[in-house]
Amino acid sequence: MSVPFYVSPEQIMRDKADFARKGIARGRSVIVMQYDGGIVFVAENPSRALHKISELYDRIGFAAVGKYNEFESLRVAGVRLADMRGYSYDRSDVTGRSLANAYAQTLGTIFTETAKPFEVEIVVAEVGTEPGEDELYRLMFDGSVADERGYVAMGGSAEPITSSLADAWHDGMDLGECIRVAVRLLGEHGEEHARTLVPAQLEVAVLDRSRPRRTFQRLSNGRLAELLG
């Protein structure tokens, strides 16, 4: 009788984590930043149909890197959960924290109980009525969640971009300044050689604090060109 091949649980978890990290590292980065009027999402994404940035609910946005089909399934599930909770109770009961916790549970279950983990990293952002009430939650492929302050970078070049953002970001930045910083860093760290990204290569959206309910708004190429000008 043959002896079953044994792999320790620790080794399985390490292999899964390495697999997911390599998949995420192949994706182009996304930057999420607070500005004086809300929260801005900036991604290098030439596709006009396959979005990395989306709305989840009234004041809550979603950004992701990794495999599109996997993070798109998470986005759809988040929208359904938010709609159901808002319809069953009250719209104010739908919060970024509750959605981040739901995503953390889902990703954690997938990571531990399935052979292949999701190759995704996501941010759930909620804009408050005041800057101090803004919330940014970064979720990893294994379900771990972190409450971030000011800015988040995800994807293949996340580490050098985060290091640069630590020096470049400050309270009270306006929208144009945030977008220019984000686009510059994506161009510097996205490839082996620095590039100048143009509006057609970008996907940019905001959670605008001044809007009464539906705060999510995508920025057109013309508006981007004006802000980058």
Tens of pLDDT, residue by residue over 127-153, are 999 999 999 999 999 999 999 999 999
- How many whole angstroms separate alpha carbon 225 and alpha carbon 198? 8
Give the structural domain span for 158.
26-228
Straight-line distance from the first to the last Cα atom of the chain, in angstroms, rounded to the nearest whole number: 73
Q: Is residue 13 part of a domain?
A: no
The answer as to whether 183 is a domain residue is yes
Whether residue 103 is contained in a domain is answered as yes
Does residue 173 sit within a domain?
A: yes
Q: Residue 131, Cβ neighbours under 10 Å: how many? A: 16
Q: For residue 4, is it within any domain?
A: no
Total number of domains constituting the chain: 1
Give the pLDDT of residue 62: 98
**Average predicted confidence (pLDDT) for the chain:** 93
Give the CATH number of the domain where residue 82 resides: 3.60.20.10
Residue pair 57/50 in contact (Cβ under 8 Å)? The answer is no
Query: Residue 97 CB: number of other CB atoms within 10 A?
Result: 14
Q: Say if 97 falls within a structural domain.
A: yes
**Percent of the chain scoring above 90 in pLDDT:** 83
Q: Is residue 5 part of a domain?
A: no
What is the rounded CA–CA span in Å between residue 199 and residue 197?
7
Residue 14 maps to a domain: no
